[in-house]
Amino acid sequence: MRNFISVRDVSDLKKLLERAKENKANPFENLVLGKNKTMVLLFFNPSLRTRLSTQKAGLNLGMNVIPMNVSEGWGLEFEDGTVMNLDKAEHVKEAAAVISQYADIIGIRTFAGLKDRALDYADRVIRQFATYASVPIVNMESAVLHPLQSFTDLFTIETYKKKERPKVVLTWAPHPKALPQAVANSFLEWMQKTDYELVVTHPKGYELAREFTAGCTIEHDQQKAFKNADFIYAKNWSSYEEYGKILSTNPDWMVTEQKMALTNNAYFMHCLPVRRNVVVADAVIDSKRSLVIEQAGNRAVAAQTVLEKLLEKQNS
């Protein structure tokens, strides 16, 4: 694995899942793999789980980890050939190359701006870092994708599923803020690698980019979608069509006990952070069927498994 930017960087997903299982059972078996290796984690946006779990994953492999909030450094320029006489002090060409002098792996978190769809969907920040860094790049949520989250989600479903082909439902839920599509896009990208029964439900106008929903069942009636589901994965995203807009805050789309009662006693999943009683009712997230804390715990397992792959490639 050269970089970890999307599921396309994974050559053998089955093996990766097996490795994650081993890492969960024995997290400290590979403490020498990352000895004398440094990972720099760059945060253009806030993070709680990603920051701590990726750092912990590095520490479990014996790595040194240096997190940095980019806002504490120079403003970075990503435009090629531009005259840098405005506010940006340093080009990504230098920044990525310089950080590569200190780091053996670089993690990047950068949210979609939600103003210019073409710019966001070019995933420029992470792609430019991958171009100009001389070390592997790990996606800690980019404008388009959040693969560490999705690997975690797949691993969690694999752990809890009771049948070979569970019914997995991705449901849109309301939110007061315009949020990126990254978690939903990435979730679908990873789920498409399985033979699960996959259903996406959202109000009209919230269609995700076709490249992620091709082959998915789209059901605009949320209650119908929930019928016999084994896993309910809730997430808000802003509109892709009317890019970055909030088209609805309809509270009828919140995940409630009544709706969970339509399912096959489904587990409830969410990547967190979650707005209680907007996205999901307390009674659901606090129930025994809620996997959100387990999911968050698995973030460290997923990150460690990915870092192992990158380090093994470097050492070979």
Minimum separation from the CB atom of position 53 to ligand SN0 (A): 11
CA angle, residues 148, 150, 153, in degrees to nearest 5: 115
**In the complex with ligand SN0, which residue's Cβ is closer, 179 or 199?**
179
- Binding segment (CB under 6 A) for ligand SN0, from list 5-13, 23-31, 172-180, 245-253: 172-180
**In the complex with ligand SN0, which residue's Cβ is closer, 132 or 237?**
237
Minimum separation from the CB atom of position 192 to ligand SN0 (A): 20
221 with 162: CB under 8 angstroms? Answer: no
Task: Pick one of 273, 276, 283, 312: the residue that binds ligand SN0 (CB under 6 A).
Answer: 273
Could you tell me how many residues of this chain bind ligand SN0 (CB under 6 A)? 9
Q: What single string gives the DSSP state of each residue in 122-135?
A: TTHHHHHHHHH-SS
Q: What single string gives the DSSP state of each residue in 8-39?
A: GG-S-HHHHHHHHHHHHH-TTTTTTTTTT-EE
Determine, following the binding rule CB under 6 A, whether residue 5 of this chain makes contact with ligand SN0: no
Determine, following the binding rule CB under 6 A, whether residue 208 of this chain makes contact with ligand SN0: no
Sheet bearing 105-109, strands edge to edge = 64-69, 38-43, 105-109, 137-139
CA angle, residues 251, 253, 257, in degrees to nearest 5: 100
Determine, following the binding rule CB under 6 A, whether residue 137 of this chain makes contact with ligand SN0: no
Q: Which two tokens stand for residue 243?
A: 């890019």
- Rounded Cα distance between 314 and 13, Å, is 20
Minimum separation from the CB atom of position 99 to ligand SN0 (A): 23
Q: What single string gives the DSSP state of each residue in 37-71?
A: -EEEEEESS--SHHHHHHHHHHHHTT-EEEEEEGG
205 with 248: CB under 8 angstroms? Answer: yes
Going by C-alpha positions, the residue among 92, 100, 169, 105 that lies closest to residue 136 is 105
- Binding segment (CB under 6 A) for ligand SN0, from list 12-20, 28-36, 173-181, 283-291: 173-181
Binding-residue pattern over the window 186 to 205 for ligand SN0, x denoting contact by CB under 6 A: --------------------
Determine, following the binding rule CB under 6 A, whether residue 244 of this chain makes contact with ligand SN0: no
Characterize the bridge pairing of strands 167-172 and 231-235: parallel
**In the complex with ligand SN0, which residue's Cβ is closer, 128 or 150?**
150
Determine, following the binding rule CB under 6 A, whether residue 173 of this chain makes contact with ligand SN0: no
Q: How far is CA 5 from the centre of its chain?
A: 10
Minimum separation from the CB atom of position 142 to ligand SN0 (A): 10
**In the complex with ligand SN0, which residue's Cβ is closer, 89 or 293?**
293
Q: Looking at beta carbons, which residue is closest to ligand SN0?
A: 179
**In the complex with ligand SN0, which residue's Cβ is closer, 251 or 273?**
273
- Binding segment (CB under 6 A) for ligand SN0, from list 130-138, 180-188, 203-211, 259-267: 180-188
Determine, following the binding rule CB under 6 A, whether residue 180 of this chain makes contact with ligand SN0: yes
Beta strands in 88-166 (DSSP E): 90-91, 105-109, 137-139
Determine, following the binding rule CB under 6 A, whether residue 179 of this chain makes contact with ligand SN0: yes
- Rounded Cα distance between 3 and 136, Å, is 5
- Binding segment (CB under 6 A) for ligand SN0, from list 65-73, 132-140, 258-266, 271-279: 271-279
Determine, following the binding rule CB under 6 A, whether residue 114 of this chain makes contact with ligand SN0: no
Chain residues 275-314 in contact with ligand SN0, contact rule CB under 6 A: 275
- Judged by the rule CB under 6 A, the positions of this chain that interact with ligand SN0 are 141, 177, 179-180, 182-183, 271, 273, 275
